[in-house]
Structure 1
Amino acid sequence: MKPSCPCARGARFAALVAVLAACGALAACSHRADNTWQGYVEGEFVYLGSSQSGKLTQLDVARGQEIAASAPVFALESVDETAALQQAQQQLAAARAQLADIQTGKRPPEVDVTKAQLAQAVANARKAALQLTRDEAQYRVGGIPKGQLDDTRAAADAADAQVRELTHEVAVARLPGRSQQLLAQAAQVEAAQAAVAQAQWKLDQKRVSAPAKGRVYDTLYRVGEWVQAGNPVVQMLPPQNVKVRFFVPETVVGSLAPGRALTIHCDGCASDVKAKITYVSSAAEYTPPVIYSNESRAKLVFMVEAHPSVDDAPRLHPGQPVSVTLQ
């Protein structure tokens, strides 16, 4: 075989050096910094539903939409609940009217009638008293028998008794109802108020609003479908429920604590996102099925959670891989 040319051997050596240099550069690029860890974005979704069943009549949001706090989300059919509320309100009005009637006693016209009867009784009593005086004078001179005098005296006594009776009736007419009767009617008013509150609550449950601002991730029913009580209709994610999870070895977990700052890097993000650690797991996520040793301890990792600010959270998406750099 013909020996290789020295220039060819030099060229192959130069190429090998270039490959080794490239491999070294690639290894250097793939080396992870000691304070940087891989993680992912996770969202704690809020599932909006109603405690009442009904047909979905209104869906005010769409998937992917950003909504404000207290914004209307959906509504269920509420004909029965509206009628129940109106009935409860009318029953409350009737109970309050009855209580007011008991508290005020008789009406003024009724009291006036009793007063007129009392005035008539007073006039009759005065007339009977005058007649009694005349008959007593006649009896003393022998002008009338004793029986007639007794009849006159009885008529005068009856007239006085009627005056006392009507006087008491006027006083009673001005009095409110008895205390026990008032307490019973007041309890009826409170029961009616509770029925109104219950009917109002059931009606309010047919309209659901957003508990906080956030993004609608999915709608689970269409208008016209029947929704069972408790079933979620809309799935949303408030920004404060966005968090990042990453895992660190047991050699690092001891130096981490809630409140420590970090930065989150994601592909496609214009800039890094600042966040703070909110939770450090106290238990290893992966434990080798062998007794601990210096080799197996290196395989232990601990979960750490961090929350970005509410303003930066919409830049992150659940399931998105990220890199976390501790500060």
Structure 2
Amino acid sequence: MTWFSDAVAAVALFLGLSGPPAGPVAHGYVEGEYLRIAAPVAATLDKLNVVRGRTVEAGAPLFALDRTMARAERDRLAAAVAQAKSQRADLTKGKRPEEIAVIAAQTAQTEASLHQTQAELHRQEVLVRRNVGAVERLEAARAARDRDVARLAELSAQLDTARLPARIDQIAAAEAALAMAEAALAQQERRLAEMAPMAPTAALVEDTLYNPGEWVPAGSPVVTLLPPERRKLVVFVPEPLVARVRPGQALPVSCDGCPAGLTAVVAFVAPRAEYTPPVIYSVGSREKLVFRIELAPDPSWSAAPGLPVDVGLPP
């Protein structure tokens, strides 16, 4: 029967079957914690950049919704930000140089008029003292001088005001309007990015749920990813053996077609017992009190979700 034993060994080597662990064995399966990538808005799917069953690198584009309207809204908000910046800058400045030049010219004109009215007032005062001038003309000259003095003071105040910025409250309102416009633009930029998401990590493309040209509702996943580090082993340990298992413990793993020497680290031990493990994995364990145990395998082991596994328990 040597030839038969050799044939069995050759078949086992060809299939890559690893022997069951020594001692008690817990049965279970590989489970995946999927990343379901969706967009926050509804739109037509424009591009699908991935293929189901292939892997993607971190930062790779996954899909893109039609962003025509979103880009137009982004451009509108960018223009609103530019407008708010211009308004704030305008309020921090005085009047235009041309307007200041007009006030300065009016000031010079009034100064010349004041010089003339002061001279006329002085002449009328001399005439009145000599009793050769009319008092009415003296009062008229004094009124003209006072008018020019007041006008000069007015223009001087206007010139100082023209060089000042707007009131503090107006500037604060303009800065608040600018901050609001910038926040709206940032929100729209984020929405544009979410309408064409990138892969958050290297992962397997487990499924694609829409084709280009189809309408995608808001929040509906378009691509399902499975990162290697989000695979886990779920096994069910009989109640008499659960005390042997503790988090952080490395246990041997075997499965059909898997290489020998695999191990996984216990990540979770259920605090409560259950009775029947799900579906076929309960064969040989029905009617028994079992505890759910989750283990973290090596991320380099690309085990497919649903694959039955056997985990060796400590003796």
TM-score normalized by the length of structure 1: 0.83
Matched, 1:253 2:255: no
Name the amino acid aligned to 2:310.
Answer: S
Larger radius of gyration: 1
Question: Closer, same or farther in 2 for the Cα pair 1:233/1:164, shift >3 Å?
Answer: same
Matched, 1:323 2:299: no
Residues 176-215 of structure 1: matches in 2 within 5 Å? 176-215=165-204
Question: Closer, same or farther in 2 for the Cα pair 1:136/1:176, shift >3 Å?
Answer: same
Q: CA deviation at 1:215?
A: 0.2
Q: CA deviation at 1:125?
A: 1.1
Name the amino acid aligned to 1:262.
Answer: L
Residue matched to 2:120: 131
SS at match of 2:179: helix
Q: CA deviation at 1:179?
A: 2.3
Q: CA deviation at 1:32?
A: 7.5
Q: Kindly indicate whether the alpha-carbon contact (under 8 Å) linking 2:252 and 2:264 is maintained by their aligned counterparts in 1.
A: yes
Root mean square deviation of aligned Cα: 2.1
Q: Kindly indicate whether the alpha-carbon contact (under 8 Å) linking 1:261 and 1:326 is maintained by their aligned counterparts in 2.
A: no
Deviating runs (4+, > 3 A) in structure 1?
30-33
Residues 5-154 of structure 1: matches in 2 within 5 Å? 33-154=22-143
TM-score normalized by the length of structure 2: 0.86
Q: Kindly indicate whether the alpha-carbon contact (under 8 Å) linking 2:20 and 2:254 is maintained by their aligned counterparts in 1.
A: no
How far, CA to CA, are the matches of 1:303 and 1:198 in structure 2? 43
Determine which of 209, 223, 232 is the counterpart of 2:212: 223
Aligned identity (percent) is 39
Determine which of 207, 225, 249 is the counterpart of 1:236: 225
Residue matched to 1:282: 271
Name the amino acid aligned to 2:173.
Answer: A
Residue matched to 1:162: 151
Q: CA deviation at 1:31?
A: 9.5
Superimposed CA distance per residue, residues 191-248 of structure 1 (whole angstroms, 9 cap, x where no aligned partner): 2122212222222221111121110011111111111111111111011110111111
Question: Closer, same or farther in 2 for the Cα pair 1:261/1:149, shift >3 Å?
Answer: same
Superimposed CA distance per residue, residues 147-185 of structure 1 (whole angstroms, 9 cap, x where no aligned partner): 111111111111111110111001111111122222222
**Which structure 1 segments of 5+ residues have no match?**
1-29, 288-297
Superimposed CA distance per residue, residues 96-143 of structure 1 (whole angstroms, 9 cap, x where no aligned partner): 211111121212222222122212211221221112111211221123
**Which structure 2 segments of 5+ residues have no match?**
1-18, 277-286
Moved more, 41-50 or 111-120: 111-120
Question: Closer, same or farther in 2 for the Cα pair 1:136/1:41, shift >3 Å?
Answer: same
Moved more, 73-82 or 137-146: 137-146
Q: CA deviation at 1:33?
A: 3.7
Q: Kindly indicate whether the alpha-carbon contact (under 8 Å) linking 2:265 and 2:297 is maintained by their aligned counterparts in 1.
A: yes
Q: CA deviation at 1:85?
A: 0.9
Residue matched to 1:17: none
SS at match of 2:183: helix
Q: Kindly indicate whether the alpha-carbon contact (under 8 Å) linking 1:214 and 1:237 is maintained by their aligned counterparts in 2.
A: yes
